[in-house]
Structure 1
Amino acid sequence: MQAQQSFGKQTMGVLYLVPTPIGNLQDMTFRAVRTLKDVDLIAAEDTRNTQKLLNHFEIETKQISFHEHNTSERIPQLVAKLAAGMSIAQVSDAGMPSISDPGQELVAQCVAQQIVVVPLPGANAGLTGLIASGLVPQPFYFYGFLGRKTGQQEEELQTLALHPETLIFYEAPHRLKKTLTNIVAIFGEKRQGVLARELTKKHEEFIRGSLAELLEWATETNVRGEFVILVAGNQNSTRVSDQNELTPVNDQINRLIGDGLSPNVAIKQVAKQRNLNRQEVYKNYHQL
């Protein structure tokens, strides 16, 4: 067990996790600006991008690059600097460090070395989109980016199809249509969802409707900007799970199909829940 006193007297340096704006520079907090001015070094995902932020707030602190491609090299260097007494602020290009961005491995190493880690609150696209979505805000399940390959996405989505929580995903504009196509195929057309586009920026927009309607919008629109995809949870998943042992297999499959799942996905989910052979469930359902 380990207990951390964040603001006591320190014998080593401190790692500060500093959120940056996701679009609107006015979302930078006073504390974040002061921290970036006071630390000895800023570990930035993209030093060129962060330099624009530093220039805007007249911050002269030196930077060092820290991104997903140099973590194995940088982490020992940063930990050594912290152990020697330097204070370091870690920032990503936008939003919270470690949330779909670099940071987690550095934090883990600092915790292992008993170096104090101090998080600052700030902008986060997932939560910003969630509270304005109109969907149930809690509980929610943040997933971030799905896998890029179709097969990987389908496998991930199949494990999420019965979650009762509101689901939160991130997606780039050029992959939005493909990802929504896979979500509709696994979750069904009827489930409600929201696309939150360009949050906090000039062209911020919310597109609300069924998953089928969201896919239609993405198909007919010249898609631009970064997206948060929010999907309503499966409201019948708990009921199905509770009655698992009492509900005939085909009835349970039909319930899931009625909730919007495709027959093949419903069969796979039921077979997995009941620990049955999927092919046998398939043959039995289709009377083959």
Structure 2
Amino acid sequence: MKRKMDEFDLELSTIVGLEELKAQLRKWTKGMILDKKRRAIGVDLGRRKPPHMAFLGNPGTGKTTVARILGKMLSSVGILSSDKVTEVQRTDLVGQYVGHTGVKTRLKIKEAKGGILFVDEAYRLAPINAGKTLEFGMEALEEIMSAMEDEDLLVIFAGYPEPMKRVFSSNEGFCRRVTHLFQFDDFSCRELAEMLLIKMSERDERSRMFGFRLGSCCGVEAVASVIERKTSEAMRSRMNGGLVDHMLNNARDNLDSRLDFEASGDELFTITLPDLEAGLELLARLNLK
């Protein structure tokens, strides 16, 4: 049991920030692991119900990443038979004509069977305006609600906190079935800087930054200061972790543009603080500020 908890802690430690959320998840996970021990010694705890959840937060706050970690953990303790996470949005579930939505939604539920069905922007299934769009969205939601009685499927609804209230009130069985709500807060400037340094330290050959390094002046405090000066709170709230990827890609482009063909050695691979600053300035010029 300790090994499983340590593995879960290690996975959570790769996520920057979200300390309150991680504390909630650790407490909840420990309880599930202990329940497994209780059952192992013959205590009947009744039917094991899937812990369906709602993840509330802005884009880029780590909701999908946490879902994947949960999939691994729930599979390792036997609550789910697979660690797969099937991500869907409204367009994956809602059809264009009568009878189409049910078929599309059931196919996605079947695909997710054994693991997690992650419904992103779930509030789009309960739009404000009435009409066929509303009916089809509600049809998809009702299909998912029915599938949540399955013992080998976990559903996670994700989206902005305020619009998600429409989902809570749109189906009377929602709050009864979705028993765990988690808030994903926006990242601070320092947390975004920490995330940037972690990304640059990873050795992922698929990354566009593979083989590059940060200059000696690019410490956490210096990078956080650049982010604070060159972005607005609204921009950070809108992008969160996505801001780091744009910042790094633009910084590499800036490095290429300022080097001449006689450049050699470390300067070919070193991202400097001015490169990072230029990367954020480009985002501002694209009206993302």
Give the TM-score normalised by structure 2. 0.30
Higher-helix-fraction structure = 2
Higher-strand-fraction structure = 1
Give the TM-score normalised by structure 1. 0.30
